[in-house]
Chain A
Amino acid sequence: MSRILIVDDSRTSRKILRSILEDAGHDVVGEAMDGQDGVNKYKEMRPDLVTLDITMPVMDGLEALKCIREVNAEAKVIMVTAAGQQNKMIDAIKLGASEFVTKPFEPDEIVKMVNKLANN
């Protein structure tokens, strides 16, 4: 079981992700609605893993990823985005993202990815 922080400006996405992760036995320790909120909650909660939406107001996912990696260079971060954002995915890889998922969510894919990262 991993302690997971969900960072996404969409309530719908947060709810769907939470449901998938909790059904798979993981503990969602917090939710954040934008990148800045996500960085603050990461510092406060120190989760095992973060799911981080790329397109968000205030601070986007790439900027938040940079900040989180500054706090913890080993942070495990799964980037979340709609399809069609390959350039941003490449940027996220350069910044140290662990994995990617695209919306709409495929529960099996997400659970496999989280379990794999949890076991590493």
Chain B
Amino acid sequence: MINQLFGNYLVKTGALSRDQLERAFETQKKVRVKLGLIAVTEKLMTLEQSEEVNKLQAVMDKRFGDIAIEKGYLTDDQVGRLLGLQGNQYLTFAQAVTDNGFMTLKEFENAFSDYQKALAFTLTDMESLKSGDSDRIVPLFLPNDVDELQKEHVLIAVRTLLRLIDSDAYIGRASWVSSIPAKGVAFQCLAGEKNQDTKVALGLIGEEDGLLRVAGTFAKEEFEKVDLDSLDAVAEFINCINGMFATKVSSKVFLDMLPPIYREENVTVSGGRMLKLPIFVDGNELQLLSTYDGMINI
């Protein structure tokens, strides 16, 4: 997700063109990150030290890590940790952008610092972003006052979307809304069986192509338009997410899953205090709607 988030930021700020970003993504699929690049981005070596080791590598039959240890730039343990980061999405993206000559590593790192400022993120937040782990990234985009149970619900939703629908999906900053207009909606409410106070709901609205991608990929079927058939598939996808959520929280609360609801016409979706999380699927914006202690209504 970090490659999509930061990549789109680079396009927005003019550091990369859309075409360069797409080419970087293509390159990224084939990239194996060089240890020197990881060492520099992890701040364990300076760029100069990395270049020195690279030059030595050209004349010595030794691996980068071995030379860096000999020179005293890295320890055994550090090399081990860096090797473990070679598949990291941030690093493979950095390598793809620099290998293509679109930016130097220095420019890339500076842009990442600017990105941190633009998002008002801490260094710890940025480490979470660079980890590529959606469970660490998603909370950064949620408001601080989200309940833990609701956070878990949203995490499961994003994780499931990445796993079943689009591994390249990415998110935007979430916000609270009380209602939102939509053309087409699918949602499902869950309620505590005995204690009706526990009520949660999850819904999905958004651009037609995004909804069709969710429906088509989940149902393994081609849909031409957002209608009751495609929204039924979106609702079943939500039903699966909710099932996983209900399982996860079952030790704390039993949640009865009510039949999913979907409408193809223009509606106003309301839910008291409703969390709205933008999710971009194939570049199409969807809104994941989540309520806690309240149902979604239309």
Contact = CB atoms under 8 A, between A and B. Distances in A.
Interface residues of A, number: 21
B219 A15 contact: yes
A6 B236 CA distance: 16
Contacts of B258: 55
Contacts of A119: none
Contacts of A10: 232, 235-236, 239, 260
A11 B233 CA distance: 8
B221 A85 contact: no
A25 interface: no
Contacts of A56: 259
B216 to A, nearest CB: 11
B242 A82 contact: yes
A120 interface: no
Interface string A1-43: 0000000011111011000000000000000000000000000
Interface in B248-275: 248, 250, 254-260
- Secondary structure of the B side of the interface? helix
A98 interface: no
A119 B22 CA distance: 54
B259 A104 contact: no
A85 B257 contact: yes
22 contacts: A10-B235, A10-B239, A10-B260, A12-B218, A12-B219, A16-B219, A55-B239, A55-B258, A55-B259, A57-B259, A82-B239, A82-B242, A83-B240, A83-B244, A84-B242, A84-B248, A84-B250, A85-B256, A102-B243, A103-B236, A103-B239, A104-B218
